[in-house]
Amino acid sequence: MSTRLAAVVALGYPVAVIAGSFLELPRLPLAWLALLILVLAWPALPVLGRGVIALVLAVLVLLLGTEPAGKWLIYAVPVLIQGGLAWLFARSLRPGSTPLITRYALAMGASDSTPVHRYTRRLTAAWALLCGGLALLSAVLAVAVSTTTWALFANGINYLFLAALFMLEYPLRRWLLCDEPRAGFLPYLAALARADHRHILRQR
């Protein structure tokens, strides 16, 4: 299955969680999560394996749909996503490692200068703190508020915070790093999409 399809399914997952909460359909987010797992695993599986994993996932959705374990699995997803992102950013701040955003900046044509290194290191730390804070808040809300309120925050507002930092950082960078090349926001997004993410993530 194509990467585009996987992206569409992944983007639809938060919507499914919120809709399932409002419509009181506990199996909806589980079914969507199962679909996402199937789409991601599909290219690596033989034909028989695809049928087996599809059957196993369908059975799990049916069994866990009305059980507390299914509910807690859905609660865990945004915590794991945000926590994983926080870990990814934070681990790149270790001594001897190049901060993650510094790697991206250099790979996308930024100068190997002290201001670039200083700014991108601080930005990497900001992303680590934001993702870690959102993961913690999602976990707290899972036990402190209603399922609907949690779903709206952990699967909606959560990602708006991430989008806000991503959008607001660009003009801030242009102002603080005024000597760096300026190609515009859309070309920047295109360059980011073309970046060799696997290679960048494997760097130290």
pLDDT tens per residue across span 153-180: 999 999 999 999 999 999 999 899 888 8
Q: Answer positive or negative: Cα dihedral of 129, 132, 134, 139.
A: negative
Tokens 């087996």, located at residue: 52
State the pLDDT confidence band at 1, using cuts at 50, 70 and 90: low
Give the per-residue pLDDT at 103: 96
Mean model confidence pLDDT for the chain = 90
pLDDT of residue 198: 87
pLDDT of residue 102: 96
Q: Which range has the worst mean pLDDT, 70-74, 131-135, 143-147? A: 70-74
- 33, with CB counted inside 10 A (0-12, 13-18, 19+), is buried
- Quickly state the pLDDT bin for 138 (edges 50, 70, 90): very high
Percent of the chain with pLDDT over 70: 99
Q: What is the percentage of the chain residues whose pLDDT exceeds 90?
A: 55
Confidence of residue 2 (pLDDT cuts 50, 70, 90): low
Query: pLDDT-based confidence at 41, cuts 50/70/90?
Result: confident
Number of H helices and E strands in the chain, helices first, is 10, 0
**pLDDT of 65 over the 80 cut:** no
Cα separation of 185 and 129, whole Å?
A: 25
Per-residue model confidence (pLDDT) at position 124: 97
pTM of the model: 0.85
Q: Are 166 and 189 in contact (CB under 8 A)?
A: no
Q: Which of 45, 36, 39, 37 has the alpha carbon at shortest distance from 12? A: 36
**Residue, of 23 and 204, whose pLDDT is higher:** 23
Task: Please count the other Cβ atoms lying within 10 Å of the Cβ belonging to residue 125.
Answer: 16
Q: Are 195 and 107 in contact (CB under 8 A)?
A: yes
Cα–Cα distance for residue pair 123/126, rounded to 1 Å: 5
DSSP SS3 for 155: helix
Q: Using CA atoms, how far apart are residues 82 and 91, in angstroms rounded to an integer?
A: 14
62 token code pair: 């049916």
Q: What angle do CA 9, 13, 17 make, to 5 degrees?
A: 155
Q: Tell me the average pLDDT across 85-114.
A: 94
